[in-house]
Amino acid sequence: MTLKLYSHPLASFCHKVLIAFYEAETPFEPLMVDLGDPGDHARFLDLWPVGKMPVLRDEGRNETIPEASIIIEYLDQNYPGVQTMLPADPATCLRARLWDRFFDLYVQEPMQKIVFDSFRPEDRKDKTGVEAAEQRLMQAYEMVENHMKDRTWAAGDDFSIAECSAAPALFFAGIIVPFKSDQSALRGYFERLVDRPSFRRVLVEARPYFDNFPFRDRIPQQFLTVKDA
Ligand SMILES: N[C@@H](CCC(=O)N[C@@H](CS)C(=O)NCC(=O)O)C(=O)O
């Protein structure tokens, strides 16, 4: 297998790339990285000293590609499958890339901040930082609500890199800071994401690891029994 994806089934940034692989139906070999295991961690740092997953290793082209968005673009350029994630039309592509950045920076990052803070001992907790992250999530939800009022997908008519980012970001963030009951466009968008077979598959693969998620008790029942489409 020429494409190896260093990843973990519970990691939200890995979900983003897995969705792109499943949409494109591109074959690859998933290599699970346990950052809690010192040996695994050291080997992973050799590959990408930043130490963040996912990382793609393309043996055929002798390339190592980090960063989820860049991996998705690399796959589109070099291994286009049945569904491309970067729209061909430049204006639509720019919009897709904007919403990809939006979901990474303003949903994934604050969500990660809250998750990582939950692992800290009581006397090292960053209450102010967590409150700011919660505010950022609520602001982001309202922006998605306004943007998605008359849209199916964030950048246009087709599922794109924006949805690869949106699905895991909204999944984990929505568990921690729930969407408001009147945010119907956001809720509808999230339901479409969850119905997408590529993301359903990702959730099925993540389910055995849900116990490692610190907000496990808040995961809605529907996701504890999620099945492949
Ligand atoms: N900017 C990176 C972020 C990746 C990221 O934060 N990955 C998490 C897993 S979802 C990770 O590896 N965390 C380990 C750490 O921060 O030590 C990307 O887009 O790929």
Of 45, 78, 111, which residue is a domain's last?
78
Q: Alpha-carbon distance 44 to 54, whole Å?
A: 10
**Is the model's pLDDT at 207 over the cut of 70?**
yes
**Is the model's pLDDT at 229 over the cut of 80?**
no
Can you name the residues that pair with 100 across neighbouring β-strands?
Answer: none
* C-alpha of residue 220 to centroid of ligand 1, in Å: 24
Would you place residue 185 in the very low, low, confident or very high pLDDT band (cuts 50, 70, 90)?
very high
Confidence at residue 1, expressed as pLDDT on a 0 to 100 scale:
61
Mean pLDDT of the chain: 96
Confidence at residue 226, expressed as pLDDT on a 0 to 100 scale:
75
Domain shared by 62 and 124, yes or no = no
* Nearest one of 148, 171, 170, 158 to 103, comparing CA atoms: 170
Residue 187 located in a structural domain? yes
Q: Which two tokens stand for residue 9?
A: 């089934």
Residues near 139 by beta carbon (within 8 Å), at least 6 away in sequence: 106
Question: What is the total count of domains within the chain?
Answer: 2
Atom of ligand 1 at shortest range from CA of 11: 10
Estimate the share of the chain in helix, then strand, then coil, as percent rounded to the nearest 5. Answer: 60, 5, 30
Domain shared by 121 and 54, yes or no = no
Domain shared by 70 and 94, yes or no = no
Domain shared by 22 and 63, yes or no = yes
* C-alpha of residue 95 to centroid of ligand 1, in Å: 23
Q: Which domain holds residue 182?
A: 90-224
Of 43, 78, 113, which residue is a domain's last?
78
Q: Alpha-carbon distance 103 to 166, whole Å?
A: 6
Mean per-residue pLDDT, 127-148:
98
**Using an 8 Å Cβ cutoff, are 128 and 118 in contact?**
no
Q: Residue type for 85, please?
A: M
* C-alpha of residue 36 to centroid of ligand 1, in Å: 14
* C-alpha of residue 22 to centroid of ligand 1, in Å: 20
DSSP for 102-116 reads HHIIIIIHHHHHHHH
Residue 85 located in a structural domain? no
Residues near 67 by beta carbon (within 8 Å), at least 6 away in sequence: none
Atom of ligand 1 at shortest range from CA of 67: 20
Q: Which two tokens stand for residue 112?
A: 């990660």
**Using an 8 Å Cβ cutoff, are 31 and 82 in contact?**
no
**Using an 8 Å Cβ cutoff, are 107 and 174 in contact?**
no
Summarised one tens digit per residue, pLDDT across range 20-69 is 999 999 999 999 999 999 999 999 999 999 999 999 999 999 999 999 99
Q: Alpha-carbon distance 123 to 38, whole Å?
A: 26
Domain shared by 63 and 117, yes or no = no
Give percent of the chain with pLDDT exceeding 70: 99
CB-count burial class (<10 Å; 0-12, 13-18, 19+) for 3: buried
Of 78, 108, 140, which residue is a domain's last?
78
Residue 84 located in a structural domain? no
Residue 142's alpha-carbon distances to 135, 149, 175, 195, in angstroms, are: 11, 11, 16, 22
Atom of ligand 1 at shortest range from CA of 68: 20
Summarised one tens digit per residue, pLDDT across range 103-125 is 999 999 999 999 999 999 999 99
Q: Alpha-carbon distance 214 to 115, whole Å?
A: 7
Give percent of the chain with pLDDT exceeding 90: 96
Domain shared by 7 and 44, yes or no = yes
Task: Give the CATH number, domain containing residue 19.
Answer: 3.40.30.10
